[in-house]
Amino acid sequence: MDNSKTDFDPSNWEDFRTLGHRAVDDAVARLSSIREGAVWKAPTDATSAAFSGPMPDDGLPLDQVYSDAVSALFPASMGNQNLRFWGWYMGAGTAGGALADFFAAVDGSNLGGGNTGAAKVEWQVIDWLTDMVGFPKGSGGILTSSGSQANLNCLVTARNKMASVDVRKVGIGGLPKPMRFYASQETHYCVAKALEVMGHGTDALRLVPVNERLAMDPGALPAMIAEDRAAGFEPVCVIGTAGATSTGAIDDLVALSKVARDEGLWFHVDGCVGAVVKLSRQHSGLVGGLEAADSVALDLHKWLQVPFGVGAAVVRRKTDQSDTFAAHGDFLEMKPRGLIVGDFFGGYGIDLSRGLSALKVWMTFKEQGRDKIGRMIDHTIELARGAAARAEAEPQMERMAPCPINVACFRFWGESLSDAALDAINNEIMLQLQEDGSAVMSDTQIGGKVAIRMAISNHRTVKSDVDAVLDLFIARGQKLLAEGFADGVAAE
Amino acid sequence: MDNSKTDFDPSNWEDFRTLGHRAVDDAVARLSSIREGAVWKAPTDATSAAFSGPMPDDGLPLDQVYSDAVSALFPASMGNQNLRFWGWYMGAGTAGGALADFFAAVDGSNLGGGNTGAAKVEWQVIDWLTDMVGFPKGSGGILTSSGSQANLNCLVTARNKMASVDVRKVGIGGLPKPMRFYASQETHYCVAKALEVMGHGTDALRLVPVNERLAMDPGALPAMIAEDRAAGFEPVCVIGTAGATSTGAIDDLVALSKVARDEGLWFHVDGCVGAVVKLSRQHSGLVGGLEAADSVALDLHKWLQVPFGVGAAVVRRKTDQSDTFAAHGDFLEMKPRGLIVGDFFGGYGIDLSRGLSALKVWMTFKEQGRDKIGRMIDHTIELARGAAARAEAEPQMERMAPCPINVACFRFWGESLSDAALDAINNEIMLQLQEDGSAVMSDTQIGGKVAIRMAISNHRTVKSDVDAVLDLFIARGQKLLAEGFADGVAAE
């Protein structure tokens, strides 16, 4: 080995070119045939073996490293790129997005900030997103690694701007009264986690009851705020949910914004699931009122199909975010000239060194265009609503929740089955379909009962996939019943 | 346009293959010639124009999107891949890392968790990192988007585990006494920012004086802790710095760990700059004591050269992190079988949906191997120490700080020049070298004076680069003096 070489470049760039071409060919082979085969398969022993053992002392040729990784990874991928993956809530990625990630790393710029082309990409993406939300001039934002981070960024901004003291200095211990935040019972747990990280604790989060649509009951909110004020708390923030993860339920954002305005509270919207419905000509009314928010958390690796992990925290007043996060280090002083001029991303969020995640967002919008993105959203809403309608019509299925957007919730049903038996059989059907690679759906609890979720945030899914999997779902339930599965549960 | 197509796949996979090959060729052309040309150039009007305007309604062919982006981005990159870039503190990236980012997006798995090959990659990387730090069995960790996030993750864990109440529920308002954290005056501002986000405020951060090495004076610490206890505060955490950003100064981690143990405090180390020195056979002693920490923040996109953005929060006791971050949502219940089994990454940090950033770390370790990474670290330390030594020897330079690792701090110097004139001329030299593309260095303040930083966290740099830029640096200072630059400052 040549011990004098300390740089990490390939010894031979032609070898890298050959490998790179092979990686592209592998990507084409994989993604162009993603319709075929099992949605998900458990990792084999070979995959486990490939990713075990200590850090190697000696390096290996990159093409061998690549081969080892690809042969162990691809057969045991999550499967979310497959047309029949509708578990939890995630995007299916795109080939263009993968290329953007490569190209971002080849550009190599640090998006902490600085006067670079890369910085202009992120600012343009932020402009597009604030425009999508409907924010006025003077709004701003920052890309984050996830929707959870976007919510955290927005809630810290809300907290700091609503505080009557300089919380950046004295902390929340210096507040005259403990703060209270309000979100629906269906809010994503990342909101509670953000408040834990922020030192408020989950006690600071008041969960407002939901109505029959599983959206926050705006009528319940003023009374809770008044009650908290009377008890010596400081209500500061109403958190609307534009697309609950379980069911897609969208709070009445117009009503919530009015309560927030009347009560003098910050209005934040967790739009990670549904805010992008703004891009649909047909359905944008579902998230009407989003434009009245003070801050909105977005996830771009979900319905927008951008590869993981990228979200965005957008704010009505750009300075609210910089007032919250801008900081100064001796080693990082802005200059009037040279590389380190301009609007510094690190001053709008928690991260300082950052990659060019903006590029995959930019390329997705440029390649697909707003109209087609809107049509994809309409298409997936139609598929999910179709599934929910079928669940209502099928004698052996039950629709478990309204389907305002792209999440259908249902269960296999039989007249003689107890709720315990229904919970067990639905869980079993779901796991069997995962295990045999037919489809990935996930579950939730609705009214204390197990519901199976078909979250169609997948640009590749077509109606025949939904139909075929619902056929399978019913057939599997019938088979389990015939085998006496439910009797077993009853006997337990 | 075919309005019936709603998936985001290429209409023609052969076109994508051709484009992918071209992108690889562009990468080879760029990275194999990165030695040539200006380190950095300001974006042109054409670059600004390419990244302005509203979100397009109609999509464009991917190859056109790619061409538009690449032609606008590459000429205006930050330059951190270039051999003569030593500004702030960042890595130079690698071709293999870029390929890993592509390949991670092609795999597409969501690293929230689940039983996938991708999950095994991240767990192996965490094992390697805890092993590097010197943690025992039972330790754990999670990859983050940055070192700032890694510090935040560790400090939230420290706070929650040190609390005498259930802060996840009641918040820090329920603590009997306000907490206090201790770090050196040279600590990175992300530590203060983390405490702001966490609701403690910067008042909770006590900055401990530094010694002549610019490392924390461990002797000053017990008295500050005692003073705070007497004043009714609850000291909870000593934060060691393993590599200050300004100068590379490393706290005496053995001494700090002893104080923390004696006083019953958590011992966290911000190792974002220097913890990887553990991989050097020659210099690992510089970070002795790291293995005694309760938590360590790491940055992998710095000295390890992994493309942005990836850091890691590693903890001595894995359960400390899950006690802090694990949460439950109805829509995300772990199962004994199927896809969603196993150790769930989302339970160890803030993010839920996450990408496979682990792959570029894994491929870097596999391709380079521990020994060569150690040699690269030794090589860059040697280069920086050489620069510092030359600054000491040159009549027209002054060494401004010790150079324990890879950050040389110096200034251009002239006998007759006031400190104000020296500040101005050094700033001017630095900016001119940035502007003419010769080199990127940055500045800091040491003892109230401007120091120029050569932070050689760049695997490509060789000695002739350092020598040539120091020649240029001196020559530029002399030229400015000859032009009367310093007289101008004096007259102001």
Q: Give the separation between CA B492 and CA B487, rounded to whole angstroms.
A: 9
Minimal CA separation from A20 to chain B, in Å = 6
B60 and A CB contact within 8 Å: yes
Same-domain status, B308 and B344: yes
Angle between helices B95-107 and B358-393 (to 10 degrees): 160
Q: Report the chain A residue with the minimal C-alpha distance to residue B115.
A: A42
Average pLDDT over residues A130-144: 98
Q: Give the separation between CA B460 and CA B376, rounded to whole angstroms.
A: 9
Contacts of residues B369-374 at CB distance under 8 Å and 24 or more positions apart, as own/partner, are: B369/A56, B369/A57, B369/A58, B369/A59, B369/A60, B370/A55, B370/A56, B370/A57, B370/B279, B371/A57, B371/A58, B371/A59, B371/B281, B372/A5, B372/A6, B372/A58, B372/A59, B373/B276, B373/B279, B373/B304, B374/B279, B374/B280, B374/B281, B374/B282
More confident residue, B475 or A487: B475
HSE on the CB side for A29, CA within 13 Å? 10
Same-domain status, B113 and B22: no
| Sign of the dihedral through C-alpha A156, A159, A165, A171 | negative
In a domain, B8, yes or no: no
Same-domain status, B56 and B198: no
Minimal CA separation from A221 to chain B, in Å = 22
Domain CATH code at residue A398: 3.90.1150.170
pLDDT the model gives residue A20: 98
For B86-132, how does the pLDDT look when each residue is reduced to its tens digit (9 = 90+)?
Answer: 999 999 999 999 999 999 999 999 999 999 999 999 999 999 999 99
pLDDT the model gives residue B492: 47
In a domain, A97, yes or no: no
* Token pair 């020598």: residue: B467
pLDDT the model gives residue A490: 57
* Token pair 């050959």: residue: A18
Average pLDDT over residues B281-292: 98
Q: Tokens for A352? A: 């300082």
In a domain, B58, yes or no: yes
Contact at 8 Å (CB) between B284 and B71?
no
Of B355, B379, B406, the one marking the end of a domain is B355
* Token pair 């190599």: residue: A108
C-alpha closest to that of A259 among A295, A289, A214: A289
- B/e letters for A113-147, b = 16+ CB within 10 Å, e = fewer, are bbbbbbbbbbbbbbbbbbbbbbbeeebbbbbbbbb
State the DSSP string of A277-315: GGG-TTTGGGGTTGGG-SEEEEESSSTT-PPSS-EEEEE
pLDDT confidence bin for A5, thresholds 50/70/90: confident
Instruction: Please judge whether B354 and A171 are an interchain contact, meaning their C-beta atoms are less than 8 angstroms apart.
Output: no
Instruction: Please judge whether A80 and B47 are an interchain contact, meaning their C-beta atoms are less than 8 angstroms apart.
Output: no
What average pLDDT does the structure give for chain B? 96
Residue A492 has pLDDT above 50, yes or no: no
Residue B187: give the domain boundaries. Answer: 109-355
Residue B487 has pLDDT above 90, yes or no: no
Distance of CA A248 to the CA centre of its chain: 13
Minimal CA separation from B80 to chain A, in Å = 7
Q: Which residues contact B173 (CB under 8 A, 6 or more apart)?
A: A172, A173, A178, A199, A200, A201
Domain CATH code at residue A179: 3.40.640.10
Same-domain status, B395 and B417: yes
Burial of A491 (0-12, 13-18, 19+ CB in 10 A): exposed
Residue A121 has pLDDT above 90, yes or no: yes
pLDDT the model gives residue B490: 57
Of A62, A77, A92, the one marking the end of a domain is A77
- Spell out which residues of chain A touch residue B359, defining contact as CB-CB under 8 Å: 69, 73
For A283-325, how does the pLDDT look when each residue is reduced to its tens digit (9 = 90+)?
Answer: 999 999 999 999 999 999 999 999 999 999 999 999 999 999 9
In a domain, A200, yes or no: yes
pLDDT the model gives residue B2: 62
Q: Report the chain A residue with the minimal C-alpha distance to residue B123.
A: A51
Q: Give the separation between CA B102 and CA A85, rounded to whole angstroms.
A: 22
pLDDT confidence bin for B329, thresholds 50/70/90: confident
In a domain, B101, yes or no: no
Instruction: Please judge whether B52 and A440 are an interchain contact, meaning their C-beta atoms are less than 8 angstroms apart.
Output: no
H helices of B8-146, in order, are: 13-32, 45-50, 62-73, 95-107, 117-133
B449 and A CB contact within 8 Å: no
Instruction: Please judge whether A110 and B80 are an interchain contact, meaning their C-beta atoms are less than 8 angstroms apart.
Output: yes
pLDDT confidence bin for A4, thresholds 50/70/90: confident
- Spell out which residues of chain A touch residue B116, defining contact as CB-CB under 8 Å: 40, 43, 76-78
Q: Give the separation between CA B223 and CA B215, rounded to whole angstroms.
A: 17
Same-domain status, A350 and A385: no
Q: Report the chain A residue with the minimal C-alpha distance to residue B461.
A: A7
In a domain, A362, yes or no: no
- Spell out which residues of chain B touch residue A97, defining contact as CB-CB under 8 Å: 105
pLDDT confidence bin for B206, thresholds 50/70/90: very high
What average pLDDT does the structure give for chain A? 96
Q: Report the chain A residue with the minimal C-alpha distance to residue B457.
A: A7
Residue A1 has pLDDT above 70, yes or no: no
A2 and B CB contact within 8 Å: no
For A149-187, how does the pLDDT look when each residue is reduced to its tens digit (9 = 90+)?
Answer: 999 999 999 999 999 999 999 999 999 999 999 999 999
Same-domain status, B191 and B271: yes
For A401-427, how does the pLDDT look when each residue is reduced to its tens digit (9 = 90+)?
Answer: 999 999 999 999 999 999 999 999 999
Burial of B489 (0-12, 13-18, 19+ CB in 10 A): middle
Minimal CA separation from B337 to chain A, in Å = 7
Same-domain status, B350 and B205: yes
pLDDT confidence bin for B440, thresholds 50/70/90: very high
For A53-98, how does the pLDDT look when each residue is reduced to its tens digit (9 = 90+)?
Answer: 999 999 999 999 999 999 999 999 999 999 999 999 999 999 999 9
Q: Report the chain A residue with the minimal C-alpha distance to residue B331.
A: A444
C-alpha closest to that of B55 among A304, A280, A362: A362
Residue B231 DSSP SS3: coil
Residue A2 has pLDDT above 70, yes or no: no
Q: Tokens for B89? A: 């503190």
In a domain, B89, yes or no: no
* Interface probe with B: pick from A6, A124, A458, most Cβ of B within 10 Å: A6
Same-domain status, B179 and B257: yes
Minimal CA separation from A401 to chain B, in Å = 14
- Among residues 301-360 of chain B, which lie with CB inside 8 Å of chain A? 301-302, 305, 307-309, 325, 327-333, 335, 337-340, 350-357, 359-360
Same-domain status, B240 and B374: no
Contact at 8 Å (CB) between A5 and A11?
yes
Residue B467 has pLDDT above 70, yes or no: yes
Q: Report yes or no for ipTM above 0.90.
A: yes
Of A313, A333, A355, the one marking the end of a domain is A355
Residue A344 has pLDDT above 60, yes or no: yes
B12 and A CB contact within 8 Å: no
Which of A66, A77, A201 is nearest residue B168 as measured by Cβ atoms? Answer: A201
pLDDT the model gives residue A272: 98
Residue A392 DSSP code: H
Q: Give the number of domains in chain A.
A: 3
Same-domain status, B379 and B473: yes
pLDDT confidence bin for A468, thresholds 50/70/90: very high
Same-domain status, A341 and A378: no
Residue B382 DSSP SS3: helix
In a domain, A336, yes or no: yes
For A201-253, how does the pLDDT look when each residue is reduced to its tens digit (9 = 90+)?
Answer: 999 999 999 999 999 999 999 999 999 999 999 999 999 999 999 999 999 99
What percent of chain B stands above pLDDT 90? Answer: 94
H helices of A306-357, in order, are: 318-325
Same-domain status, B133 and B210: yes
